[in-house]
Chain A
Amino acid sequence: MTPEVVPDGGPQRSAVRRRRPLTFDRISFMVVFLGLPLAVFVIFVVSPFVQALWYSLTDWSGFSSKMNFVGFDNYVRLFHDDIFLKAVRNNVELAVVVPIVTIVLALTLATLVTIGGSGTGTVRGLRNSGFYRIVSFFPYVIPAIVIGLIWAQVFTPSTGILDALLSKVGLKGFADYAWLGDARTAMPASMFVMIWGFVGFYMVLFIAAIRGIDPEVFEAARIDGAGRFRTAVSLTLPLIRDNVQTAYVYLGIAALDAFVYMQALNPGGGPQNSTLVMPQQLFTTAFAKGQFGYSTAMGVILAAVTMLFALLVFSVNWLTGGRDRKVRR
């Protein structure tokens, strides 16, 4: 965009940077190649984010032109809003449980696939494991809303398959049990659905990460007599540590959202708001109640919690020894 635009020639940039003449070709190139995408990005992504910070300090209802600056009133109100605080707690619970269970499950399954094969000397992958990989990955290509809808049907009392199966195996008490309609099970059931949706994807990622480890490392461990369990815990896990951290951050952010899943399973927030999440509350406050200023304040809190979460994961990883590895590299 500025006149001193110079192609830098990639990794081996030439020592002498020449100024190029400004031709129509170059000017039109920069305007279209950089200007066009940036305009779209600034108008539809950057500007709404910046505006949100301002709206969150007003009492704007959205439909009147009247808008009063109220300072931090919205935030003060949020900290006294029991329903919102309940949603925050639910989100935090989701951000703790969902990533942990997903990662443990995905790691276990990935380990079984990669080092579960028979044989003594070398650690071998499981035979015919391609099938499991393909099947586990199914949920990733199913839209989240559909995953939610399918499971909502599975959990439905009397017409759902879950209660039918449970009574078939003799657990008659569950014949008409409403998994999503009972405050005790609504949240665990919803968590299960999210985990079901996530595991396959992370399993594939972890399989790739484990396959990326030098096989000689495994061989050495096996010759030294380390069992499979020990290999997995003291060898694989530290070696793919960064992948696990990345997975934790992504999963946590997904769990702090959770909007689609909760909307499919319990659009109203569940019995006694047991599955209500911040995004749902934000959405209703904005588009059903028309309290736009107040709802953007919720958005700011959601963003803050998300950042805090990512920061926490990175520092825990760093404190528990993630830094050693980086130094050694």
Chain B
Amino acid sequence: MTTTTADRAEFVADSRVPGKGSREGRGVATTAHVALILWSLLVILPLVWTVLSSFKSTQEVLGNPLSLPGKLRFSNYAHAWTTAGIGRYFTNTVIVVGCALVLVMILGAMCAYVLARFTFRGNRLIYYSMLAGLTFPVFLAIVPLFFVLKNLSLLNTLPGLIITYVAFALPFTVFFLHSFFKALPGEIYEAAQIDGAGEWRTFFSVMLPMARPGMASVAIFNFLGLWNQFLLPVALNTDSRNYVLSQGMASFASQAGYAVDFGALFAAVVITVAPVLVVYIIFQRQLQVSVTAGGVK
């Protein structure tokens, strides 16, 4: 970009001897591998240590952190799942994230479709206020939101959490799908109309199936975002029976801080991470593609 013609001429004069370059190239490749392996180790080692520790007894955890577990104590997992309530939090999370995901995908697709393909007064205003909803920090809204839910008697309930998740995931979903619906050719809409399909039918039988690739990407994003959600449940869902995984983990860890059961704590971490990690490894190609498609925009 910044290279001028003069620079370029200078470089041509300086061009390397062939052969020398290939050895240099191999050197670079080796260095690159070493650096990347180091980084990979930095990522993997804490995870491996967590898995190993999840099989240890509390004495072993408090003893030598580098030692291997004496035997595989699956009882830690049983303890985490039942006594520490991770099983219950897991179920809650699956319910909340599952419902919120389905709802936000339907509502988001409908809203994006209308905003992208119909002209009416206020269209732009709605679209831009949704964009603004993306940029404002949730923290600004959290206190009034608490009272909105309280007044609707939705505070500390799973439906309350679901609808809040949906509302805050909506702007991103609409923003992302807007371009997908915009890109669909207008002839298809007209063909559907001529064939006698109403607006509802046109959307569900024609338009929605065509936006499938976009829907898949957004669904992945939303799933990870909702599974990861921490602030909303911590502020709006304080009944411990309704805890989702992330807040259950936090409260379990703060109890474990007083030396309760370290093996179970590590087991709880593994239970939380493992399902998503396994799904990621299976679908990593698609996931990376959709993350790239979404992020570059």
Question: Which of A75-83, A142-150, A181-189 lines the interface with chain B?
Answer: A142-150
User: How many residues in A have their beta carbons less than 8 Å from beta carbons of B?
Assistant: 127
Residue B184, interface by CB 8 Å: yes
Q: Are B65 and A159 in contact (CB under 8 A)?
A: yes
Q: Are B139 and A10 in contact (CB under 8 A)?
A: no
Q: Which residue of the partner chain, among B44, B133, B168, contacts A135 with CB atoms under 8 Å?
A: B44
Q: Are A6 and B120 in contact (CB under 8 A)?
A: yes
Q: Which residue of the partner chain, among A117, A267, A302, contacts B25 with CB atoms under 8 Å?
A: A117
Residue A320, interface by CB 8 Å: no
Q: Name which residue of chain A comes closest to B3, CB basis.
A: A234
Set of chain B residues within 8 Å of A33, measured between Cβ atoms = 110-111, 113-114, 199, 203
Residue A104, interface by CB 8 Å: no
Cα distance A55–B144 in the bound complex, in angstroms: 8
Q: Which residue of the partner chain, among B21, B53, B231, contacts A259 with CB atoms under 8 Å?
A: B231
Known: A25-B200, A109-B39. A256 touches B137 (CB 8 A): yes
Question: Which of B29-37, B68-76, B77-85, B211-219 lines the interface with chain A?
Answer: B29-37
Q: Are B49 and A45 in contact (CB under 8 A)?
A: no
Set of chain B residues within 8 Å of A129, measured between Cβ atoms = 36
Q: Are A161 and B66 in contact (CB under 8 A)?
A: yes
Residue A90, interface by CB 8 Å: no
Cα distance A153–B123 in the bound complex, in angstroms: 50
Q: Are A40 and B29 in contact (CB under 8 A)?
A: no
Cα distance A161–B42 in the bound complex, in angstroms: 12
Q: Are A10 and B25 in contact (CB under 8 A)?
A: no
Q: Smallest distance from the beta carbon of A156 to chain B beta carbons, Å?
A: 9
A-B contacts counted at CB < 8 A amount to 346
Q: Are A45 and B32 in contact (CB under 8 A)?
A: no
Q: B interface, how many residues as a size bin?
A: 35 or more
Q: Smallest distance from the beta carbon of B6 to chain A beta carbons, Å?
A: 12
Q: Name which residue of chain A comes closest to B116, CB basis.
A: A10
Q: Which residue of the partner chain, among A14, A150, A283, contacts B46 with CB atoms under 8 Å?
A: A150
Cα distance A143–B224 in the bound complex, in angstroms: 8
Q: Are A145 and B199 in contact (CB under 8 A)?
A: no
Q: Are A49 and B141 in contact (CB under 8 A)?
A: yes
Q: Which residue of the partner chain, among B39, B107, B143, contacts A52 with CB atoms under 8 Å?
A: B143
Residue B253, interface by CB 8 Å: yes
Known: A4-B120, A120-B18, A225-B14. A295 touches B227 (CB 8 A): no
Known: A145-B249, A161-B65, A225-B12. A38 touches B144 (CB 8 A): no
Known: A146-B249, A267-B254. A10 touches B140 (CB 8 A): no
Cα distance A1–B119 in the bound complex, in angstroms: 10
Residue A170, interface by CB 8 Å: no
Residue B136, interface by CB 8 Å: yes
Cα distance A160–B63 in the bound complex, in angstroms: 10
Residue A165, interface by CB 8 Å: yes
Q: Which residue of the partner chain, among B40, B114, B249, contacts A34 with CB atoms under 8 Å?
A: B114
Q: Are A303 and B136 in contact (CB under 8 A)?
A: yes
Q: Give the contacts of B193-237 with A (CB-CB under 8 A).
A: 198-200, 203, 224, 227-228, 230-231, 234-235
Residue A215, interface by CB 8 Å: no
Q: Name which residue of chain A comes closest to B259, CB basis.
A: A159
Cα distance A310–B135 in the bound complex, in angstroms: 10
Q: Smallest distance from the beta carbon of B261 to chain A beta carbons, Å?
A: 13
Known: A116-B29, A299-B139. A146 touches B273 (CB 8 A): yes
Residue with the highest number of chain A CB atoms closer than 10 Å, among B61, B137, B164: B137
Cα distance A151–B45 in the bound complex, in angstroms: 11
Cα distance A235–B272 in the bound complex, in angstroms: 42
Residue B155, interface by CB 8 Å: no
Cα distance A328–B13 in the bound complex, in angstroms: 29
Q: Are B291 and A205 in contact (CB under 8 A)?
A: yes
Q: Are A239 and B1 in contact (CB under 8 A)?
A: yes
Set of chain A residues within 8 Å of B120, measured between Cβ atoms = 1-2, 4-6
Known: A10-B182, A260-B230. A49 touches B43 (CB 8 A): no
Q: List 12 A-B contacts (CB under 8 A).
A: A4-B121, A29-B198, A48-B145, A49-B141, A62-B147, A120-B25, A126-B33, A151-B46, A264-B250, A278-B139, A279-B231, A282-B139
Q: Chain B interface (Cβ within 8 Å of chain A)?
A: 1-3, 8, 11-12, 14-16, 18, 21-22, 25-26, 28-29, 31-33, 35-37, 39-40, 42-47, 49-50, 53, 61-62, 64-66, 107-108, 110-111, 113-115, 117-122, 126, 129-130, 133, 135-137, 139-148, 163-164, 166-168, 170-171, 174, 182-186, 189-190, 198-200, 203, 224, 227-228, 230-231, 234-235, 245-247, 249-250, 253-254, 262, 265-266, 269, 272-273, 276-277, 280-281, 284, 288, 291-292, 295-296
A-B pairs, top 5 by smallest CB distance, nearest first, are: A9-B186, A116-B32, A44-B167, A48-B141, A37-B111
Instruction: List 13 other contacts, CB 8 Å, given A135-B44, A238-B1.
Output: A6-B118, A6-B119, A10-B184, A36-B110, A46-B133, A55-B143, A109-B39, A132-B39, A143-B228, A208-B292, A212-B296, A239-B1, A306-B136
